[in-house]
Chain A
Amino acid sequence: MRKELKEYNFDWMLWNAFASAARLKSGTEKEYQNTLKYIPYFKGVVEPIMECGEPGRKFLEMSAKYLENIVHAKERGFKTAVTTFCFSPAIFYAMDIIPVGLEVISVMMTFTYKRGTADFLDFCNEAGFTETSCSSQRGTIGAYLAGVGAEIDLIVTDSPGVCDTNANAFAFASAYLDKPFFQLDMPPDLTGERSDEYHREDYKALIKFLEEHTGKKLEPEKLKACLDELQKQDNIIAELEEMARIIPSPIPVVYNLFVYASRFLFAGMPECTLVLESMLKNASENAALKRPGLKSGREKIRAFFCYIDHYAQNLQLWQMLEREEISYCGNILSRLWAENVPHVKEYGKEEAAYSVDTASIDSMINTLAGINSRMPMIKSIRGPYDAPNMWLEDTLALAKMYSTDVIVYNGTPGCRNTWGMVKLLARDTEAAGYPTYIMYSDAFDERVQSWEATEERFLEFLKVRRII
C-alpha cells in the first residue's frame, strides 16, 4: 500500500471530506459557487447531491454524521461493529454500538476518489484475501486490515446462506484481526414455520453475543424507540414507492440511492428519517405539479436495476440517467419488505413481508428477525432464483409494477451467487418481454471496466434494442 495512505486514518479523511461538503451550503450561494472552484476533484460528488436541494444537503450531513460516529466512537465510549449493508443496524443503535458498514463506506470512497478504493482492495491480496472476492467489502476491509481505520471491536454479518463472498470477508477479517465474530445464518426458504423459528433463534443468539461483548443488556425502551422510528421510515418509503409508479415518475433519479443509503446507515434513527421526510416533501410537490423527477422534465424510458447500482466516481451512473432522460425505478437494494409497501400489497405478498410489533420484548425481537431476514439480497437470493419469493419473482413483479422498459443487472465479479444464475434470470425476463442488459463491470472497481466503457455498452444496448 502506498506510504502516504498510512499517514492518516482513511475514515478520518473521509469524514472530513463529507463534513466539509455538508457545510458548503451554510453560507450564501455565491460563497458556495466560489468554494466549488477550490475543490475540483470533490466538486463532481457535491454538485449532483446539492442540486437535489434540501434532501441532498441532509444526505451529506447524515453521511458525515455516520463517519463522525465511527471516528469518535472510542473517545465517546462506544463499541464498534464491522457489519454489512444487508444487516439492519437498528439493533446496534438500540445497544449503543456504532456500526461500520463496509459496503456503504466503499461507496463513499468510490464516489469521492478517482482511485476509488484500489489501494485497500489490493491490500486485501497482500493480507491473503482472494482478489476474486467481492470488491464491495474488500474496498473498506482492506483499510481496517492495514490498520488505517478506527478501532474495531466486533464483526457481525448476516450473509451466510445468501452470499459466500460477503460472509467470507467478515470471517476472514475476524480471523485476521482476531476479533469476535457472529454470523446470522439464513436457511434457503424465506417463509414457513421452520424458517421463522430459525431466524428468531438465530437473532436471539445474536443479541446474547452483543450483550456478552458489550457488557450491556438490551433495553426494551431503547429498542422500541428505534423500531418506532423505523416504522416511520417504512411509511415514508412506502409513499415514495407509490409515487414512483406515476408516469412520468416524480422521483428524482438519485432518490433511490438516498433511500437505501439512509436505511443502511441509520435505520431506526432520526438521521435517516430527516432525509426521507425531506425527499417525500419534494417528491410530493413534483407529483402535485405532475412534474417529472428528471431535471430535463422529460422521461424517455424507465429502467429497473435488478441488482445494485454502479458507484463510479462522481455519481456517473445517475448523471448518465439524467442526461439520457431515463427514470430510475429502483433496484434490489431499495426495495424494503415492510407489510405496507406497494409491491407487497399489490401482489398479496404479506407472508414474505415483515411487520413491526413493539408490544413486548419478544415481539420486538421477532420483528428484528423478520426485518433482517428480509433485507435486500438476504430476502431474494438465498434460494433458487426461480423459487417463490426469490429473485425472478421479485424482479418480474417490480418491473411490471413500475412500468419498466428495461431491466439492468449490475454487480461485481465477486458476486458468485448472482453470476451463478443471472444468465438464467435474464433469459426468463427477456421471455417475459423485458429487454435485459447484463453489465460486465465492477460496481466498486473501475479498473475492471471503466465507467466510460460501461456506459457506452449500455447505451449501445438501448440503441440496438431500439429502446431509446
Chain B
Amino acid sequence: MNRFVEAVSTLENRYIKDWKSRGGRVVGYTCSYVPDEILHAAGLFPFRVRGFSAADTTIGDTYFGPFICSLPKCMLQLAGEGNFNFLDGIIITPGCDSMRRLDECWRKAGEDIEGIVPGFFFHFGVPHKFTDYTLKWFTEETKRLINALNSHFGADINNEQLSESIRLYNRTRVLLARFDSLRTRKDPPFTGIEALAVVLAGTALPKEIYNAMLEEYLAEMNDAPGIAGRSRIMLVGSANDDLELVRIIEGSGGLVAADNLCFGSRLYSDSVDENSEPVEALVTRYLSHNECPRMYGDYKNRLLSLKEKIESAAIDGVILQNIRFCDLHGSENGLFERDLEKEGIPCMRLEREYGPLVETGRMKMRIDAFLERLGRRVVAP
C-alpha cells in the first residue's frame, strides 16, 4: 500500500523522475475523456494532472475570474509554481467550462512566468453526446491528436502499438474490476482512503509497473482480514483526488465502499474492444462513457448505473459532493438526492472547495450528523 500512497502523494513521483532520467517524456491530461492509451502507444508517460498539494490559489486567482471551480485554479497554481515543469506536453479538454479555460489561463500565465508552458499544448475537443456524427468528429479529433503527437515527439503511433496499449489498459481494467469486487465485499480488506490511493496511482505510474503492483496487492488482499461494522458510504460527484476528504468521512466512522468519481471507478468501468480497429475502439469506449454529467441529457442512465452500484456494494448512504461552482455535478446531485431518497436511500449533499481543506470542521460536523442519521455510527478509535 505504501507504494501506492507514495506515488499519489507527490506530483513528480520517483517513477516519473526515473522515467525522465532515462530520457522519457511525460504528457499530462486533465480529463478522463482523453484516451491515454494513445500516449502510451507513443512511448510517452501519460500523467493525469491534479491540483493536489496547492497551498493557495494566488496564481490561479490572477488569471481565472472569481466564480470558478477551485480545481483548475489549483492546477494553475501548481503550474505557475513550476510544479508541472516535468511535463513535456499537456492536453486540455472541454470537460467543463472551468477546466477548458485552463487552456488560456495556463498559456497566458506562461507569458508572465517563464518555462511553465509545456512544449506540446493541445486542446482536445470532446463532444457532449454520443451519436454517429459526434463519433465521427471525435474520431477525427483523436487522429488529429495522434498526428500532433507524432509530429511533436517524433513518435510513430501505429495500430499495432495501439492494440498493445489497449490490451495493457484493459488488463488494468480487469484488475480494477477484481479490486472493486473486494472493495464492495461485506467486509472489504481495505479502507476507502486506500482504495482511492490504489486507483489514483494508476494515473501517475507507468501502466506496466502499476499492473504488476496491482496484481501483487490483490493477491495480498484476497486473504486479508476485512473491515466490518461501519456505515458503508458511496462518494459521488465532482472530481476528487484528495485522500484527506475520504479521511474525514472515514475518520467519523464511515467506510467509503464505493464511488462514482472521475478519479475513481469511472476510470475503469468499461473496456476497449480489442477486436475492432484500434482508434475506432478507443473513441467508442471513451465517448460512449456517459457517467459524467457533461454528457447532457443522460441523467436516467446515470441514475440507473448509480442504483446498481449502490445495490451491489450494499451502500448505507450516499454523499453527493460538489466543488463550489461545479454546476454540472451540483445540479445532478440535486436530482440524485430527490430520486434516491424517494427509494429510501439516505443522501447528503455537500458543497466544498477543492484544495487545502480549510473547512474541515464544517464538513466533519455534517458528515457526523449524516452518519448519525444512518443510525450505525461507530466512533473511530
Report yes or no: B129 in contact with A188, Cβ–Cβ below 8 A: no
**Is A289's beta carbon under 8 Å from chain B?**
no
> Considering the chains assembled together, what is the distance between the CA atoms of A263 and B100 in angstroms?
30
Q: What residues of chain A lie closer than 8 Å to B327, measured between beta carbons?
A: 130, 132-133, 164-165, 168, 414, 416
With A416-B68, A417-B97 as contacts: A128 and B331 at CB distance below 8 Å: yes
Binds B, one of A339-347, A358-366, A398-406, A418-426: A418-426
**Is A181's beta carbon under 8 Å from chain B?**
yes
Q: Which positions 319-342 of chain B face chain A at CB distance < 8 Å?
A: 322, 324-325, 327-328, 330-335, 337-338
**Is B316's beta carbon under 8 Å from chain A?**
no
**Is A464's beta carbon under 8 Å from chain B?**
no
**Is A220's beta carbon under 8 Å from chain B?**
no
**Is A78's beta carbon under 8 Å from chain B?**
no
Q: Which positions 295-352 of chain B face chain A at CB distance < 8 Å?
A: 296-297, 299-300, 322, 324-325, 327-328, 330-335, 337-338
In the complex, the number of residue pairs spanning A and B with C-beta atoms less than 8 Å apart equals 140
Report yes or no: A168 in contact with B337, Cβ–Cβ below 8 A: no
Report yes or no: A194 in contact with B68, Cβ–Cβ below 8 A: no
**Is B150's beta carbon under 8 Å from chain A?**
no
Report yes or no: B335 in contact with A132, Cβ–Cβ below 8 A: no
Report yes or no: A133 in contact with B331, Cβ–Cβ below 8 A: yes
Report yes or no: A422 in contact with B131, Cβ–Cβ below 8 A: no
Which listed residue (B101, B125, B297, B324) contacts A132, Cβ 8 A? B324
With A165-B327, A185-B129, A420-B64 as contacts: A171 and B104 at CB distance below 8 Å: no
Interface size for A (C-beta < 8 A) is 50
With A130-B331, A194-B137, A416-B97 as contacts: A188 and B67 at CB distance below 8 Å: no
**Is B381's beta carbon under 8 Å from chain A?**
no
B95 to chain A: closest residue by CB: A164
**Is A160's beta carbon under 8 Å from chain B?**
yes
A155 to chain B: closest residue by CB: B297
Report yes or no: A187 in contact with B296, Cβ–Cβ below 8 A: no
**Is A129's beta carbon under 8 Å from chain B?**
yes
With A128-B331, A205-B131, A424-B104 as contacts: A419 and B299 at CB distance below 8 Å: no
**Is A176's beta carbon under 8 Å from chain B?**
yes
> Considering the chains assembled together, what is the distance between the CA atoms of A130 and B69 in angstroms?
13
Report yes or no: A164 in contact with B96, Cβ–Cβ below 8 A: yes
With A160-B296, A163-B97, A165-B97 as contacts: A188 and B325 at CB distance below 8 Å: no
Q: Which positions 86-115 of chain B face chain A at CB distance < 8 Å?
A: 94, 96-98, 100-101, 103-105, 108
Q: What residues of chain B lie closer than 8 Å to A413, measured between beta carbons?
A: 66-67
Report yes or no: A171 in contact with B67, Cβ–Cβ below 8 A: no
**Is B10's beta carbon under 8 Å from chain A?**
no
Report the minimal beta-carbon distance from B353 to chain A, rounded to whole angstroms.
12
Report yes or no: A132 in contact with B299, Cβ–Cβ below 8 A: no
Report yes or no: B94 in contact with A168, Cβ–Cβ below 8 A: no
Which listed residue (B98, B128, B134) contacts A416, Cβ 8 A? B98
Report yes or no: B333 in contact with A160, Cβ–Cβ below 8 A: no
Against B, the Cβ 8 Å flags (1 = close, 0 = not) of A219-244 are 00000000000000000000000000
Q: What residues of chain A lie closer than 8 Å to B324, measured between beta carbons?
A: 132
Report yes or no: A419 in contact with B128, Cβ–Cβ below 8 A: no
Against B, the Cβ 8 Å flags (1 = close, 0 = not) of A125-154 are 001111011000000000000000000000
> Considering the chains assembled together, what is the distance between the CA atoms of A171 and B127 in angstroms?
15
Report yes or no: A424 in contact with B108, Cβ–Cβ below 8 A: yes
**Is B23's beta carbon under 8 Å from chain A?**
no
Binds B, one of A106-114, A196-204, A302-310, A452-460: A196-204
**Is B294's beta carbon under 8 Å from chain A?**
yes
> Considering the chains assembled together, what is the distance between the CA atoms of A236 and B250 in angstroms?
65
Report yes or no: A416 in contact with B67, Cβ–Cβ below 8 A: yes
Report yes or no: A385 in contact with B104, Cβ–Cβ below 8 A: yes
> Considering the chains assembled together, what is the distance between the CA atoms of A309 and B289 in angstroms?
38
A391 to chain B: closest residue by CB: B104
Q: What residues of chain B lie closer than 8 Å to A165, measured between beta carbons?
A: 97, 327
With A164-B96, A424-B104 as contacts: A171 and B297 at CB distance below 8 Å: yes
> Considering the chains assembled together, what is the distance between the CA atoms of A284 and B324 in angstroms?
50
Q: What residues of chain A lie closer than 8 Å to B137, measured between beta carbons?
A: 187, 194, 198
Q: What residues of chain A lie closer than 8 Å to B335, measured between beta carbons?
A: 128, 172, 175-176
Q: What residues of chain A lie closer than 8 Å to B105, measured between beta carbons?
A: 420-421, 424
With A171-B296, A171-B299 as contacts: A185 and B68 at CB distance below 8 Å: no
Q: What residues of chain B lie closer than 8 Å to A127, measured between beta carbons?
A: 334
Report the minimal beta-carbon distance from B219 to chain A, rounded to whole angstroms.
43
With A128-B338, A130-B331, A416-B97 as contacts: A188 and B125 at CB distance below 8 Å: yes
Q: What residues of chain B lie closer than 8 Å to A161, measured between beta carbons?
A: 94, 125, 127-128
> Considering the chains assembled together, what is the distance between the CA atoms of A170 and B133 in angstroms?
22
Report the minimal beta-carbon distance from B44 to chain A, rounded to whole angstroms.
23
Q: What residues of chain A lie closer than 8 Å to B131, measured between beta carbons?
A: 205
> Considering the chains assembled together, what is the distance between the CA atoms of A127 and B337 in angstroms?
10
Report yes or no: B127 in contact with A167, Cβ–Cβ below 8 A: no
Report yes or no: B66 in contact with A419, Cβ–Cβ below 8 A: yes
Q: What residues of chain A lie closer than 8 Å to B133, measured between beta carbons?
A: 197-198, 201-202, 205
Report yes or no: A128 in contact with B100, Cβ–Cβ below 8 A: no
Q: Which positions 118-149 of chain B face chain A at CB distance < 8 Å?
A: 123, 125, 127-129, 131, 133-134, 137, 140
Report yes or no: A423 in contact with B64, Cβ–Cβ below 8 A: yes
**Is B293's beta carbon under 8 Å from chain A?**
yes
> Considering the chains assembled together, what is the distance between the CA atoms of A272 and B40 in angstroms?
56
> Considering the chains assembled together, what is the distance between the CA atoms of A183 and B337 in angstroms?
24
Report yes or no: A422 in contact with B65, Cβ–Cβ below 8 A: yes
Which listed residue (A128, A201, A414, A417) contacts B101, Cβ 8 A? A417
> Considering the chains assembled together, what is the distance between the CA atoms of A194 and B65 in angstroms?
32
Q: What residues of chain A lie closer than 8 Å to B98, measured between beta carbons?
A: 416, 420
A189 to chain B: closest residue by CB: B125
Report the minimal beta-carbon distance from B274 to chain A, rounded to whole angstroms.
28
A417 to chain B: closest residue by CB: B97
Q: What residues of chain B lie closer than 8 Å to A421, measured between beta carbons?
A: 65, 101, 104-105
Q: What residues of chain A lie closer than 8 Å to B66, measured between beta carbons?
A: 413, 419, 440
B333 to chain A: closest residue by CB: A128
Q: What residues of chain B lie closer than 8 Å to A441, measured between beta carbons?
A: none
Report yes or no: B104 in contact with A132, Cβ–Cβ below 8 A: no
Report yes or no: B328 in contact with A424, Cβ–Cβ below 8 A: no
**Is A384's beta carbon under 8 Å from chain B?**
yes
> Considering the chains assembled together, what is the distance between the CA atoms of A384 and B99 in angstroms?
12
> Considering the chains assembled together, what is the distance between the CA atoms of A123 and B105 in angstroms?
34
Task: List the interface of chain B (C-beta within 8 A of A).
Answer: 62-69, 94, 96-98, 100-101, 103-105, 108, 123, 125, 127-129, 131, 133-134, 137, 140, 293-294, 296-297, 299-300, 322, 324-325, 327-328, 330-335, 337-338
Given contacts A188-B94, A414-B67, A416-B327, 19 further A-B pairs with CB under 8 A are A128-B333, A128-B335, A129-B331, A133-B327, A164-B96, A167-B296, A168-B293, A183-B297, A187-B137, A198-B134, A384-B104, A416-B68, A416-B101, A419-B66, A419-B68, A420-B68, A420-B101, A420-B105, A422-B65
20 contacts between A and B (CB under 8 A): A128-B335, A128-B338, A130-B322, A132-B330, A161-B127, A163-B97, A168-B296, A171-B293, A172-B332, A175-B299, A183-B128, A188-B125, A383-B123, A384-B104, A385-B104, A419-B68, A420-B64, A421-B101, A423-B64, A424-B108
The 8 closest A-B pairs by CB, nearest first: A128-B334, A420-B101, A419-B65, A130-B330, A201-B133, A416-B97, A160-B128, A175-B299
